[in-house]
Amino acid sequence: MGRLTAGYVLVGGRSSRMGRDKAMLPFRGATLAQWIAKQVAEAAGSAMLVGNASTGIADLYPSEGPVGGILTALAHSDADWNLIVACDMPQADAPFLRRLLDAARERDADALLPRGPSGMLEPLCAVYHRRVREVMAARFAEGERKVTACLAGVAVAELEVAEVAQFQNVNTPEDWALHGGK
């Protein structure tokens, strides 16, 4: 029998707009990826980096975007509930991530995605039940690369989040100066 929860941090992106590897940006005495992994581990009980074999789990679908990273995490996991967070969200702290996990278990959906004030779902700071893997993998095999489109037809619960800060990602040096590099 598997664990109830596991955590994964996606580190496989190209970071092309940042001009350097976002996962390796210095943040709070560590790298950004290490700090996010610490928050994920505190919330979920574990944290594995997905995307780089030298620091964690090699991406099974390199250069195929975040759906590939999510599928890699779900293929690796023996947990029911999987907290999956992109490495470029410096304000995603453990209390917020724990709130996502608690809400996912309470609602017993196939996935729980927060919805920020913009109305957009945030699939890269979300909780996925392992049962979504087959559906997502089938859509991925058909060529779909958008996370929310790969979740079509599964029970997705939403959690309204009033503050966007928890999942504000940093893609450019300007974003980093505003939201993370402090």
Task: Return all residues near 63 (Cβ < 8 A) that are at least 6 apart.
Answer: 14
- The C-alpha angle 55, 67, 140, rounded to 5 degrees, equals 130
44-92 residue pLDDT tens = 999 999 998 788 999 999 989 999 999 999 999 999 999 999 998 888 9
Which CATH code fits 5-179? 3.90.550.10
- 10-residue averages of pLDDT along the chain (182 residues): 85 62 79 94 97 88 94 97 94 95 94 92 96 97 97 95 76 65 54
**Domain definitions of the chain by residue range:** 5-179
- Report how far residue 81's alpha carbon sits from residue 7's, in angstroms, rounded to the nearest whole number: 9
- pLDDT reported for residue 148: 95
Task: Report how far residue 122's alpha carbon sits from residue 35's, in angstroms, rounded to the nearest whole number.
Answer: 20
Bridge partner list, 159: 114
Tokens of residue 120, six digits: 């957009």
pLDDT at position 182: 52
| pLDDT value of residue 3 | 75
**pLDDT for the residue 1:** 46
